[in-house]
Structure 1
Amino acid sequence: MVDIATRVYNHNWKIDPIVRSLIDTDFYKLLMCQSVFRNKRDTQVTFSLINRSKSIPLADLIDEGELREQLDHIRSLSLKRGESTWLRGNTFYGKRQMFRPDFMEWFENLRLPPYHLERVGDQYELTFEGSWPEVMLWEIPALSVLMELRSRAVLRGMGKFELEVLYARAMTKLWTKVETLRGVDGLRIADFGTRRRHSYLWQDWCVQAMLEGLGEKFVGTSNCLIAMKREVEAIGTNAHELPMVYAALAETDDELRQAPYDVLADWQEEHDGNLRIILPDTYGTKGFLEDAPDWLAGWTGIRVDSGDPAEGAEIAMRWWQDRGEDPREKMVIFSDGLDADKIVELQGQFAGRVKPSFGWGTLLTNDFRGLTPDDALAPFSLVCKAVSANGKPTVKLSDNPNKAMGPADEIARYKRVFDVGAQAEIDVIV
């Protein structure tokens, strides 16, 4: 097992880069990229870094030259032969050859497009522009770099023994959570923590701890590189990015209203089984389900990613019942700001009523709260989102208005089109 404290103490990024591979990314990004490559490859998009935690002055913490070196290194990466073989030949979600030959040929020749980086006050403006299939693959590595450079900045002044103690405490903290979850009957849980991890080495350690501590209750990781390396399932379906871009491309209110369902119609042409998971909250879960076509009720499950998780699950269950489906046969994946106690609570509340499953993210792979002076390593909310498509702004409403994004006039229009009423504000943990 890697001695993380020693590696941190001796850090030299040229032999230990933050992003080591184009598949050091979440599985759902590759699934979505293939769908975009097939259906919308000529769409021009802009992605932008958004720091929701303004109290974290990234430009004061992270040296611009070091950030550029890490981003330039990512642009030098290409798919390795073993990685290509794994993607082409492995079985994912029970399906062989998940990735089509034309997509793989394109991916094998890909280099990520240029970036634009500028300091604005105490934050960085980081944007990526170009064709959608290329630009979308910047999201996860860009976040990984910013998160780990922030960690390195905090850790840089620590001595070797201080680092040993810090990581020993962090390991104990995580293992205590694993022991809490170990006794939960019927638990199904996956690592969703790539995008806001403390570091690559730490995420890899967390996955190994889950493997040993939870056994079959641990169903996989979203990180493709770690899934390949540790021989576990690669987990993930789709994200808000697809309906956000499809909606931005809509010309009329009617087309806008239809856009989230067009996304899933395209998805259904490629995927079945446990990949048919609905993410309904981009423009409000309640309205999405009320207007959803009947064929969506036959999908395998729903992911609850904003708002009150228990309320979201109850809304989904009522919708399935109204559509003649048995909720006990459906999967509900909880994935928003989870920690061990909340996972235990939700499993107890919904086991036997649905098939609960959990995507455990930042508080698995980056929970150093309370372990450093001034809580300098506490996780924070950093995202990299599509902000425009073919020159038109994107919008996300969410079930939590604190997660909404887009120009104010467009947010108002989307709320009108999707008939979004009053929403309860919930603090964004991560």
Structure 2
Amino acid sequence: MADIAARVWNHKWKIDPIVRSLIDTDFYKLLMCQSVFRQRPDTQVRFSLINRTTSVPLARLVDEGELREQLDHVRSLSLARGESTWMRGNTFYGKRQMFTPEFMDWFENLRLPPYQLETKGDQYELTFEGSWPEVMLWEIPALAILMELRSRAVLNDMGRFELQVLYARAMTKLWEKVERLRGLDGLRIADFGTRRRHSFLWQDWCVQAMHEGLGESFTGTSNCLIAKNRDLEAIGTNAHELPMVYAALAETDEGLARAPYDVLSDWHEEHDGNLRVILPDTYGTEGFLRHAPDWLAGWTGIRIDSGDPAAGAETAIRWWRERGEDPRRKLVIFSDGLDDDKIAELHHQFAGRVRVSFGWGTLLTNDFRGLTENDALAPFSLVCKAVSADGRPTVKLSDNPEKAMGPADEVARYKRVFDVGQQERRAVFV
């Protein structure tokens, strides 16, 4: 176990590249990448960094030279032999050879494509363009780099003992959360915190703490490199990116309305069991479930990632009952803005009614709130999204309009096509 404070003080991070492997990424990214490689390899996409917390002036906090150095380092990475062996030979979700030989041959020869970086006011404009399977793999490294460079900028002014105390307090804070969660009977929880982590070393420490503190209640981590190194389950399914790009490629309103289901039809061909989890909120959960084909009701579960999580789970339960399914046999994964108190509340509310699981993200791997002057290390909301596909803009509506994105005229069109009514605005914290 690394002495994180000593590493920060003694080396000022030079020994630790922020992203140290192409599999220092989330498992769902690799699963989706294989699906895209198979289904839509020639689609041209553009991804862009979006800082939702505009009060955090990244271009003033993070040195452009350091940012370029870290981005260039990622472009130098290739899959190591041991990493390839792990992907080719390991069992994921009970399935051997999750990744096909064709995909692995391509991935082993991959270098990430170029990036474009500009400064606009006090923010960075960071974009990636090219073929979808290649560009999509920039999302997680880009976010991890910006988040950690911001952390480094704050930590750089701290003294040796100040750093020791800071990390001791952060460790105590997390361990107290683990102790509170330990009392939840039947808890199932995983680390989903790669994208907005404080640092790689800190995420690795958090995963080890969860593993020791929660035992079998800790189901694994979304981070593939940590899963490999710590012999843990790699956890993840699919994300909003797939329906956003499929929808942008639709030629007509009818095709647009079908797009979210076309995504899951393709996924259905490739995966079964616990990988058949619906993410219904890209264009509104209510409308998605109302128009969903009957075969989707047979899927294993649903992930709730925006809006009121309890309301989302109740909607899913009603839908399963209407389709003749027993909700008690279904999986509900909560993954939006969770902390220990909300996890406990949702667990008590839904345990026994559905199979409850949690993907704990930013407030697991980046909760330094209240530990520095002016809360300089408080987490913030940073995303990297597909903004166009084959030259057409992408749109996300979400169950929370504060997370919506896309040109205003296209947002209006999508709301009409997907029959999105009044939505409740909820503050986006992380």
Confirm or deny a common fold (TM above 0.5). Answer: yes
How big is the shift at 1:12? 4.6
Mapped partners of 1:66, 1:307: distance in 2: 36
**Are the equivalent residues in 1 in contact too, given 2:339–2:360 (CA < 8 A)?**
yes
Mapped partners of 1:212, 1:341: distance in 2: 20
How big is the shift at 1:392? 0.2
Which residue in the other structure is 2:200 paired with?
200
Which residue in the other structure is 1:427 paired with?
427
After superposition, what is the alpha-carbon deviation per residue over 1:306-345, rounded to whole angstroms, capped at 9, x for unaligned? 0000000000000000000000000000000000010000
Mapped partners of 1:157, 1:186: distance in 2: 43
After superposition, what is the alpha-carbon deviation per residue over 1:138-180, rounded to whole angstroms, capped at 9, x for unaligned? 0000000000000000010000100000000000000000000
Which residue in the other structure is 2:326 paired with?
326
Mapped partners of 1:119, 1:93: distance in 2: 42
Which residue in the other structure is 1:267 paired with?
267
Gaps of 5+ in 1: none
Identical counterparts, % of pairs? 83
Gaps of 5+ in 2: none
Which residue in the other structure is 2:83 paired with?
83
Change (3 A) 1:198 1:219: same
Query: After alignment, is 14-23 or 334-343 more displaced?
Result: 14-23
4+ residue runs over 6 A deviation? none
User: Which residue identity does 1:158 align to in structure 2?
Assistant: M
Which residue in the other structure is 1:386 paired with?
386
Mapped partners of 1:112, 1:410: distance in 2: 30
Q: How does 1:13-92 map to 2 (within 5 A)?
A: 13-92=13-92
Q: How does 1:7-406 map to 2 (within 5 A)?
A: 7-406=7-406
How big is the shift at 1:10? 2.2
How big is the shift at 1:11? 3.1
How big is the shift at 1:403? 0.3
3-state SS in 1 of match to 2:384: strand
Mapped partners of 2:88, 2:97: distance in 1: 6
Change (3 A) 1:48 1:269: same
How big is the shift at 1:16? 1.1
**Are the equivalent residues in 1 in contact too, given 2:12–2:156 (CA < 8 A)?**
no
3-state SS in 2 of match to 1:18: coil
Q: Superposition RMSD on alpha carbons, in Å? A: 0.5
Q: TM-score, normalised by structure 1?
A: 1.00
After superposition, what is the alpha-carbon deviation per residue over 1:68-124, rounded to whole angstroms, capped at 9, x for unaligned? 000000000000000000000000000000000000000000000000000000000
3-state SS in 2 of match to 1:306: coil
Query: After alignment, is 381-390 or 3-12 more displaced?
Result: 3-12
Mapped partners of 1:368, 1:171: distance in 2: 10
Mapped partners of 1:59, 1:31: distance in 2: 33
3-state SS in 2 of match to 1:10: helix
Mapped partners of 1:4, 1:422: distance in 2: 47
Mapped partners of 2:429, 2:93: distance in 1: 30
**Are the equivalent residues in 1 in contact too, given 2:139–2:384 (CA < 8 A)?**
yes
Q: What is the count of residue pairs matched by the alignment?
A: 430
User: Which residue identity does 2:184 align to in structure 1?
Assistant: V
User: Which residue identity does 2:101 align to in structure 1?
Assistant: P
**Are the equivalent residues in 1 in contact too, given 2:7–2:13 (CA < 8 A)?**
no
**Are the equivalent residues in 1 in contact too, given 2:188–2:218 (CA < 8 A)?**
yes
3-state SS in 1 of match to 2:219: strand
User: Which residue identity does 1:160 align to in structure 2?
Assistant: R
User: Which residue identity does 2:150 align to in structure 1?
Assistant: R
Mapped partners of 2:41, 2:11: distance in 1: 39
Mapped partners of 1:4, 1:426: distance in 2: 35
How big is the shift at 1:26? 0.0
How big is the shift at 1:9? 1.1
Mapped partners of 1:108, 1:191: distance in 2: 26
How big is the shift at 1:13? 4.5
Mapped partners of 1:174, 1:294: distance in 2: 42
Mapped partners of 2:117, 2:414: distance in 1: 30
